[in-house]
Structure 1
Amino acid sequence: MNISQNGLNLIETFEGYRELAYYDTAGVLTIGYGHTNNTASASQYPVYEGETMTRDLANKILLTDVSNYVTDVNNAVTVQINQNQFDALVSFTYNLGVGTLYSSDLLTYVNEGNFGAAAQQFLLYVHSNGRVLPGLVNRRTQERALFLSDSNTSSYTPSTPNSSVNNGLINYSGVFIPNQTLQVSADTDPNSPAIATYDAGEQIPYDSYTLVNGYAWISYIGQSGQRRYVAVGPDDGSSSTTWGTGFFN
C-alpha cells in the first residue's frame, strides 16, 4: 500500500511548515514538515542550526521521508487494512518513529484484527518529556478518527484542532476494574496520602485521564464535588501493564 493524499494532508496539518530550523518539544532539531536528523533522508538532507528551507524543498523531503515510513508500515502490518487505517498508521509512525510502532500495543491489536482496541491506543501517545501536550492530543485524536473513518470516503480533511485537554486531563470516559487495591488521591502526586481505596473487582467510573509523574491516572468527580485521581498503572504506553481492566483494554 501507499499513502494517499488524505494521509499527506494529515501529516502536513500537524507537522506544519517551518522555514527556519528549530528545536521541538523533545529537543530535536527540526525543519520543514517535521524533518530531523533521525529520518532516513538525513544523510542527503541534514538539519543544522540556522538552516532555512523553502516550501518546495520541504515538500520534496516530506515525500522522501514519508516513503520510508510507508515501507515500515507495510512491513509491520500482517493483516489486510483499508486505506484510511494505513494512512493513520503512517502518520503515527512519521511522528513517533518506527521503533515506537513496532513495540506498541497498537500494532499488536492491528495484526490481531482488533481494530476497535487499536483505535483506542492512539490516544495513549500524547505526552513528551512527561507532559501531556495539547498538540499531540489533537493529532492522536485526528489519527484515530481517520483510522475509524469510512474507507470509501473520497476525501478527508483534518478538522481544525480543538484541544481536548482540560487542566491537563484528557476527556475519555470508561469504567476501570482493578485487580488489586488502589488508592484514591486529591492530585497526581504519587506521594499524596490516600483519601480512600478501591478493592479488587470494584468498578471505578471515570470521565478523564492523564499521564504524569510516571503513572497513568483516571479521574472523576467524587461525592464531595472535588476531583479525585486513581493511578491505574505505569505510564509506559501499554494497556497490558495496568492494574486491572478498562483503561484502553
Structure 2
Amino acid sequence: MRGPGKLAGATGAAALVVALAVPMVKAWEGRRLAAYADLVGKATICDGETRGVRMGDTATPAECDRMTAAAVAEFEAAIRPCLPGDLPLPSRAAFTVTAYNIGADAFCASSMARRAMAGNLRGSCDALMMWTKAGGRVVRGLVNRRTAERDLCLAGLQ
C-alpha cells in the first residue's frame, strides 16, 4: 500500500523523467505543424505524434508543446511497470524516449525491458542498439538516435 509520501515521490520522479525526456524527443523527432507521412507512411504531426493523426491535420507550436509533454508522460507511465522501480532517472528517461518512438507495448515486450527487469541494466541499455530499423532497413538517423539514448541510459548507471 502506498502512503501519501510515496505517491508524491513517484509523481516527482515521473516529472523529472518527463523533464529529461521531452527535450530529447523534440530534438530527435523534429517538429512539423502540418501532418506528414513518416518513414513508414504513418500520418505524423508535431514532434512525432502519430496517435489519432490524419493527413491534413495542423497544430500550433503551443499545441505541439502540450501534445508532446502529455504524450511523453503517458509513455513514461505506460512503461513504468515494465522496468525496475529503482532504475536511475536518466536510464528511465532514455527508455521513455525510446518507447515514445517504438510504442509502449513494443518496449515492454523488448529485450530492453526483459534485461532491465532481470537486473542486467548495462545489457538493457546496450539493447537499444537493436532498434535501428524502419521499414525493414537500418536508418542512419535511428542509429544516431539510439546511440544518444544509450549514452543517456548508461549515464544513469555511473
Bin for the TM-score computed over the shorter chain = 0.7 to 0.9
- Equivalent positions of 1:86-101 (< 5 A) are 86-101=92-107
Q: Aligned AA for 2:120?
A: N
The equivalent of 1:118 in structure 2 is 124
Question: Aligned partners of 1:151 and 1:78: how far apart in 2?
Answer: 13
Question: Aligned partners of 1:83 and 1:140: how far apart in 2?
Answer: 17
Contact 2:21–2:72, Cα closer than 8 Å, also in 1: no
Q: 1:143 aligns with which of 136, 149, 153?
A: 149
Contact 2:79–2:108, Cα closer than 8 Å, also in 1: no
**CA distances 1:92-112 after superposition (whole Å, capped 9, x unpaired):** 100000121121111111011
Q: C-alpha displacement at 1:151, in angstroms?
A: 6.7
Q: C-alpha displacement at 1:51, in angstroms?
A: 2.1
Contact 1:79–1:111, Cα closer than 8 Å, also in 2: no
Unmatched 5+ stretches in structure 1 = 153-249
Q: Which has the larger helix fraction?
A: 2
The equivalent of 2:25 in structure 1 is 11
Q: C-alpha displacement at 1:150, in angstroms?
A: 4.5
State the TM-score, normalizing by the size of structure 2: 0.85
Q: Aligned AA for 1:89?
A: F
Cα distance 1:112–1:95, how it changes in 2: closer, same or farther (>3 A)? same
Contact 1:4–1:83, Cα closer than 8 Å, also in 2: no
The equivalent of 2:88 in structure 1 is 82
Q: C-alpha displacement at 1:48, in angstroms?
A: 2.1
Which protein is bigger by CA-based radius of gyration?
Answer: 1
The equivalent of 2:70 in structure 1 is 64
Question: What fraction of aligned residue pairs are identical, expressed as a percent?
Answer: 26
Q: 1:127 aligns with which of 122, 130, 133?
A: 133
3-state SS in 2 of match to 1:35: coil
Report how many residues are paired.
Answer: 144
The equivalent of 1:31 in structure 2 is 45
- Equivalent positions of 1:1-249 (< 5 A) are 1-2=13-14, 3-37=17-51, 42=52, 47-150=53-156
Range that drifts further, 81-90 or 98-107: 98-107
Cα distance 1:102–1:151, how it changes in 2: closer, same or farther (>3 A)? closer
**CA distances 1:204-244 after superposition (whole Å, capped 9, x unpaired):** xxxxxxxxxxxxxxxxxxxxxxxxxxxxxxxxxxxxxxxxx
Q: Which has the larger strand fraction?
A: 1
Q: C-alpha displacement at 1:136, in angstroms?
A: 0.6
Question: Aligned partners of 2:31 and 2:148: how far apart in 1?
Answer: 18
Q: Aligned AA for 1:134?
A: R
Unmatched 5+ stretches in structure 2 = 1-12
3-state SS in 1 of match to 2:144: helix
**CA distances 1:26-45 after superposition (whole Å, capped 9, x unpaired):** 111000011112xxxx3xxx
Question: Aligned partners of 2:91 and 2:77: how far apart in 1?
Answer: 15
Q: C-alpha displacement at 1:20, in angstroms?
A: 1.3
Contact 1:79–1:113, Cα closer than 8 Å, also in 2: no
Question: Aligned partners of 2:156 and 2:49: how far apart in 1?
Answer: 30
**Using CA pairs below 8 Å that are at least 6 residues apart, which structure has the higher relative contact order?**
2
Cα distance 1:112–1:82, how it changes in 2: closer, same or farther (>3 A)? same
